[in-house]
Structure 1
Amino acid sequence: MRLRLLDLVTRPAVAGTVAALVLRALTLASRFLLSLLLARMLSPAEMGQYGLLTATLAFALLAVGLEFYSYTLRELVPATPERRARIIADQMVLGTAALVAVGIVVAVAIAAGSFPARLAPWFILILVTEHVSLEATRILIITWRPVRAYIGVFLRGGIWVYAIAVLMFAAPSTRTLETVMVWWALGGMAAIAFSAFSLSELPWRELGGYRPDLKNIRQGLWIARPFMLTAGGALVISYVDRFVIDAFVGRDALGIYTFYSTILIGLLSLGASVSHQFLPKVIAGYTAGRDAYRTALRSLFWSMLALVCATMILSAFAMRPMLALLGLSTYAASIGVFYAMLPGIFLRMLADVPSYALYSARSDKYLLICNLGSAAVSTVLNVTMIPVLGIYGAALAGGIASAALFVSLTGFAVHRMRESFREPAATETVGLPTDPDMLYP
């Protein structure tokens, strides 16, 4: 029995899966640690500034990446090594142009006094390293090297958090937002170096004199349009509240809200990481027929329901003792905001089930409608409720927007499931679901 077990765990496929899960777990744990570390070491106002920076970074990454990967990843799978190098080169050209455009916008914002000049260089550096390492991770995954991909993810978003935790406890003078950004950039650089090594076998030398394929880039941008709008809608639901709180309530209140939202976004990323493991089964089930499709979705639903219930209950019971243990009395005074935010995250995590049902059925139009509609609901409610109810208004607005997203996705999914097997499958272009790594604490 022991020999069989040893043989099982040493198989490359099993070992690779276990390694990927361990790396993913360590990365997600680092996000939770970072939120506690920042709350312990920084003032609420500095925590609020961090919340604004991470929200801005998420939108800036979307502007730089333009969801172009939803086109390139499908092209990479059947391509020869030479063709893969050219596809990646075209994406690098597009990304460089987009980075220049975002850099100009940041410069204008600094001149207008709406962006802190002292943090701008680190923000741009983090934007570059995050974009490059994130795209490299996606390329490694689609080219069947998931362990290397998640090593890159751990370098980009995990290991540096453990390093600064030790540093900040050992040297109180390093307990600043600049320290966090410096180490964040260093983590991104390490991820880029590792990814470059992992992709070094591609024939890069043959690109000498290669001119970007502008026709290919335009085609990819055209295909990526609906997915960019869908991703933008998801980011609005996650981050618009921070900008409204800063405008109407203040930076200290934003810091308290950011602390709780960092923890809940970590739970959202955990749920997305788990649900992504079911995506191939759901797609295969849709291709196989009605019974297989429903079986795959049923398995996803019960797995997500168990995960969501467990994480929500654990979080609800653990939050108050944890705040008392760490001496975070300022945050404990507003713990009701955390409990008000829980239902929204519960629904956002469960929304992966109807979202993947629509995705596997190639119903991109419905995904777009639901995400943009919920983003509009979130924006309107935040603008109207936050000036009256403060950060509690943001929590309620997020919960209502999440309910709108879940209900609309479920309604369209049920409608699509009834239609899917009465007529041939649609031939719409399919992108990728919202990437959990696009969400930042």
Structure 2
Amino acid sequence: MNKKQFINIAIRASTMLSRFMLMFIIAKHLPDEDMGMYGLFTSAIVFSLYAVGLDFYIYSTRELINTDKSVWGQFLKTQSVLIIILYLIYIPFLIVLFYFDYLPWKVFFYFIIILILEHICQELQRIIIAAHKPLAANLGLFARSGLWPIFFIPLFYWRLIPRSLDYLFIAWIIGNAISIIFYFYILMRMRISGWNNEIQWAWLRNGIKVSIVFLIGTLALRFSSVIERFWLQELTTLKIVGVYSFFVGISGVLTSFLDAGVFSFQYPRLIKAENEKNLIEYNKIRRELYFQVCLWIGGLAGISLILFKPTLAFIDKDVYYEYQQLYYFTLTTTIFSSIALLPHYELYAKKRDKAIVAINIFSIIVFVLATLVTISVSQLYAIPVAALFTQFFILIAKYISLKSINKNECIDSN
């Protein structure tokens, strides 16, 4: 690991630690219903980012990497037109969430502002990554997600500001604003030109054709994780949604560390070996990847289990003790989800996008059916059990798909 890689991992780890501490503090000091509302709010934001982004970055990033910065402005202006159109289409659908009281109207403007700022941050970060500036991209990510909690937590903890969602959202907005300023500073130094060129409608149409396939699969995969919290609210209470969201959050740290410490380094090597048809190197990287993932999962899951009881003691709320069994479901679900990334990245390296999309779409049906079946037994555990079963299905389906593809490749080579 070179110096730059170490710095990048350190920045990402600091960002995750900061968000982790924020989760602890708000779980301890926010009213239980507000914690539930925060869980619904954040999951809706995540899903909305995919809807208004159209996964267009998959196409645009590749185009930017392969073109000179003298025409980047033209491409970015063209993409901006698409984004404006997508917002005009999506916001009326978004209002449905508030109209039917899944989210209260009092957070509507916070939601719109945070969605727009998060989206701007996300797109600027991708542009900077395309310019081969990963350190600057991660510094901006830290400002966006890790810096503001460092200042917010002590103010919140010592009651220097009111303990309410309003101030949490305001701090979130400030963090995004700082990140955007930093990213614009980096972009100005890059001297991108081409802004006065005409909008490339043909380029836009081609990009939509490429990205829409990925978007369908992504939305299908994310749909279950979003609907589960709103469905859980219908089946139980907002308090339980808060508990469940917290447990999902602390379980999800496992995946975050895997992404930062393993996948971000290994899967580009895997893709390169596959593209070069270097079977020996591919199998070597694959073995390393599987070993490292299993090692990290075992270690992080063990640490998570050891620290779980002290975490409950720190929060010191009856509702978390009462529903602590939910944590074991969320942790197991996360483990299945993390293991499923192994065949996923192999399928991705082999450019089997249709298989990935088909499995993700079918997973929605599996989730809905599993929930409906489990409701008759327990409304409390219907969603956690369905989520666990869905991730297990995704793992098995991607593994079977990969084995089938490998078998066919062996037959073709013979």
- Give the Å deviation of 1:207: 1.8
TM-score, normalization by structure 2: 0.94
Shift of 1:254: 1.0
> CA–CA distance in 1 between the matches of 2:277 and 2:211?
27
**1:194 equivalent in structure 2:** 182
* 2:90 maps to 1:99: no
Partner AA of 2:225 in structure 1: S
After superposition, where does 1:372-383 map in structure 2 within 5 Å?
A: 372-383=361-372
Q: Aligned match of 1:215 in 194, 202, 209?
A: 202
Within the candidate set 394, 397, 408, 2:383 is matched to: 394
Percent identical:
23
In structure 2, the residue corresponding to 1:81 is in which secondary structure?
coil
In the TM superposition, what is the alpha-carbon distance from 1:395 to its structure 2 partner? 1.7
Q: Give the CA deviation at 1:330.
A: 2.0
Q: Distance in 2 between matches of 1:37 and 1:325?
A: 9
**1:371 counterpart (337, 350, 360):** 360
The residue type equivalent to 2:47 in the other structure is F
Closer, same or farther: CA 272–370 of 1 in aligned 2, 3 Å = farther
CA distance in 1, matches of 2:30, 2:345: 39
1:335 correspondence with 2:315:
no
Match of 1:418 among 381, 400, 407: 407
Greater mean deviation of Cα atoms: 372-381 or 396-405: 372-381
**Could you tell me how far apart the structure 2 residues matched to 1:38 and 1:385 are?**
31
Match of 1:7 in 2: none
The alignment of Structure 1 onto Structure 2 pairs a total of residues equal to 411
Q: Which residue of 2 aligns with 1:433?
A: none
1:31, 1:106 → 2: CA distance?
26
Shift of 1:337: 0.9
Match of 2:48 among 56, 60, 68: 60
* Residues 241-268 of structure 1: per-residue CA shift (max 9 Å, x gap): 1011111212111111111111122322
Give the equivalent residue in structure 1 for 2:73: 85
Q: CA RMSD in A?
A: 2.0
Contact (CA 8 Å) 1:374, 1:401: kept in 2 or not?
yes
Query: Where does residue 291 of structure 1 map in the other structure?
Result: 280
Residue deviations 1:383-439, cap 9 Å, x none?
442464233222211111111010111111122223336559xxxxxxxxxxxxxxx
Are 2:352 and 1:356 equivalent residues in the alignment?
no
1:269 corresponding residue in structure 2 = 256
Helix, strand or coil at the partner of 1:207: coil
SS of 1:224's partner is helix
Question: In the alignment, is the contact (CA less than 8 A) between 2:72 and 2:194 conserved in 1?
Answer: no
Distance 1:106 1:372 in 2: 22
The equivalent of 1:126 in structure 2 is 114
| Offset from partner CA, 1:289-333 (integer Å, 9 cap, x none) | 222222111111110011111111111121012211332332122
Task: Provide, for residues 162-211 of structure 1, a one-character-per-residue CA deviation record: whole Å limited to 9, x for no partner.
Answer: 21101101226521111111111111111111111111145556423x33
Contact 2:344 2:398 (8 Å CA) reproduced:
yes
Letter in 2 for 1:267: L
Of 310, 327, 346, which residue of structure 1 is paired with 2:335? Answer: 346
User: 1:117 & 1:325 partners in 2: Cα distance?
Assistant: 32
Determine if contact 2:51/2:219 at 8 Å carries over to the other structure. no
Q: Report SS of the residue matched to 1:165.
A: helix
**Alignment deviations for residues 354-410 of structure 1 (CA, whole Å, 9 cap, x no partner):** 011111111111111121122321233234424642332222111111110101111
**After alignment, is 286-295 or 250-259 more displaced?**
286-295
Change (3 A) 1:167 1:266: same
Q: Deviations over 1:15-70 (max 9, x none)?
A: 32121111100111122112211211112211111111111111111111000001
Gap change, CA 1:363 and 1:124, over 3 Å in 2: same
Q: What's the CA shift for 1:103?
A: 3.0
Question: Which of 281, 289, 292 is 1:303 aligned to?
Answer: 292
Aligned residue for 2:2, secondary structure, equals: helix
Q: Which deviates further from its counterpart, 414-423 or 59-68?
A: 414-423
Distance between the aligned counterparts of 1:111 and 1:402, measured in 2? 31
The corresponding residue for 1:76 is: 64
The runs of 5 or more residues in structure 1 that have no matched partner are 1-12, 425-441
Structure 2 Cα separation of the partners of residues 271 and 361 of structure 1: 21
Tell me the secondary structure at the aligned position of residue 147 of structure 1: helix
Aligned partners of 1:60 and 1:127 also within 8 Å: yes
2:129–2:137 Cα contact (<8 Å) kept: yes
Deviation at 1:144, TM superposition (A): 0.9
**Amino acid of the structure 2 residue aligned with 1:136:** L
Partner in structure 1 of residue 214 of structure 2: 227
Q: Which amino acid aligns with 1:395?
A: P
* Separation of aligned partners in 2, 1:163 and 1:391: 36
| Match for residue 278 of structure 1 among 251, 266, 289 | 266
Q: Distance in 1 between matches of 2:265 and 2:365?
A: 30
Separation in structure 2 between the aligned mates of residue 97 and residue 53 of structure 1, nearest angstrom: 23
CA contact (8 A) 1:361 1:420 kept: no
Decide whether the 8 Å contact of 2:71 with 2:192 is kept in 1.
no
Q: Is contact 1:344-1:399 (8 Å) kept?
A: yes
Q: In the superposition, relative to structure 1, how do residues 172 and 382 fare at CA in structure 2: closer, same or farther (>3 Å)?
A: farther
Distance of 1:308 and 1:192 partners within structure 2: 34
Q: For residues 414 and 85 of structure 1, do their structure 2 counterparts lie closer, same or farther at Cα, with a shift above 3 Å needed?
A: same
Q: Is the 8 A contact 1:248 1:387 kept in 2?
A: no
Distance 1:284 1:206, change over 3 A: closer
CA distance in 1, matches of 2:39, 2:412: 47
2:138: which partner in 1?
150
SS of the residue corresponding to residue 200 of structure 1 reads: helix
SS in 2 for 1:392: helix
Conserved 8 A contact 1:361-1:416: no
**Unaligned ranges ≥5, structure 2:** none
Query: What is the aligned counterpart of 2:157 among 137, 144, 169?
Result: 169
